[in-house]
């Protein structure tokens, strides 16, 4: 039985979505929780030296692999990440959600399953997705954050929001985004179509809402880092067009910190 889950997580102290050897990941937390729901199999392999069965049976579990819609980096949060996995047994969706959350709490995981539902056999959290949305948050005030620490990019200098909005118009549509692509990006092509890039203000917070079918590695953070330079006066809005056309990562601004980025939705 294939299941689809929607997940929320705090990426502050985890190494991103994908399982890592040197620290916790969202995938590891979820697969550990699923292991507790997976029936154990008892094996009695013969001892090669004597040909006899071992005194203590070997108990193994075939833990399902959890595949996510996107591989968020270390420090990046999610409001609605989506994943799928297959189970040998059928479980009511609400019971599955509650069971997973129970075993996530046992691990003190900063991860919660918001929804669980049966999925078609051919559903794939990554390849079935028709679009993805991200939110990036900047706290633009002189004093540093306390309650929002590790949840926003703190920028103490005033930012010109209208100038940044003018800069966004050069990024919308279908372009070669090489200038905003991480060196380690594994995408086959730098060509992407940016469907939405809007900037809103709520008190001291500046929020970027970004949507596309898919993104290059660090694309959103590199675009925000460049637009921040427009906001503080180091670049003009029209410089964004020049940077895009340069097709050179060195031409763009810095990569914005991971702490301000949230995977906000996946569209199917």
Dig out the tokens for 266 from the structure. Answer: 């996946």
Which one, of 88, 122, 85, lies nearest residue 100 by Cα? 85
Query: Which entry of 10, 45, 47, 73 is annotated as an active-site residue?
Result: 73
Active site residue 73: yes
Q: What is the largest CA-CA distance in the chain?
A: 79
Q: Which residues, 6+ apart, have CB-to-CB distance to 214 below 8 Å?
A: 129, 132, 187, 192
Asked if residue 77 lies in contact with residue 9, where contact means CB atoms within 8 angstroms, the answer is: yes
- Cα distance between residue 253 and residue 244, in whole Å: 11
Strand partners, 19: none
Length, in residues, of the chain: 268
Asked if residue 168 lies in contact with residue 198, where contact means CB atoms within 8 angstroms, the answer is: yes
Catalytic (active-site) positions = 73
């Amino acid at each position: 039985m294939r299941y689809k889950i929607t997940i929320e997580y705090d990426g502050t102290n985890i190494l991103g979505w994908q399982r890592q050897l040197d620290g916790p990941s969202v995938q590891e937390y979820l697969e550990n929780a699923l292991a507790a729901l997976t029936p154990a199999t008892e094996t009695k392999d013969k001892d090669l030296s004597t040909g006899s069965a071992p005194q203590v049976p070997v108990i193994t579990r075939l833990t399902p692999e959890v595949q996510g819609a996107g591989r968020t980096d270390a420090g990046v949060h999610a409001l609605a990440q989506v994943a799928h996995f297959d189970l040998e047994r059928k479980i009511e969706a609400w019971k599955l959600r509650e069971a997973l959350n129970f075993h996530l709490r046992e691990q003190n995981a900063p991860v919660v399953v918001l929804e669980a539902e049966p999925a078609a056999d051919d559903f794939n959290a990554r390849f079935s997705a028709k679009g993805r949305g991200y939110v990036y948050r900047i706290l633009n005030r002189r004093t540093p954050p306390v309650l929002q620490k590790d949840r926003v990019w703190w920028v103490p200098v005033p930012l010109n929001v209208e100038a940044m909005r003018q800069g966004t118009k050069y990024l919308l549509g279908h372009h070669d985004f090489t200038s905003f692509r991480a060196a380690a990006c594994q995408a086959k092509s730098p060509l992407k179509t940016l469907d939405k890039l809007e900037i809103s203000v709520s008190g001291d917070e500046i929020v970027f809402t970004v949507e596309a079918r898919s993104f290059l590695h660090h694309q959103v953070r590199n675009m925000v880092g460049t637009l921040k330079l427009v906001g503080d006066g180091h670049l003009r809005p029209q410089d964004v067009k020049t940077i895009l056309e340069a097709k050179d990562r060195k031409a763009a601004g810095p990569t914005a910190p991971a702490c301000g980025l949230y995977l906000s939705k996946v569209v199917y």
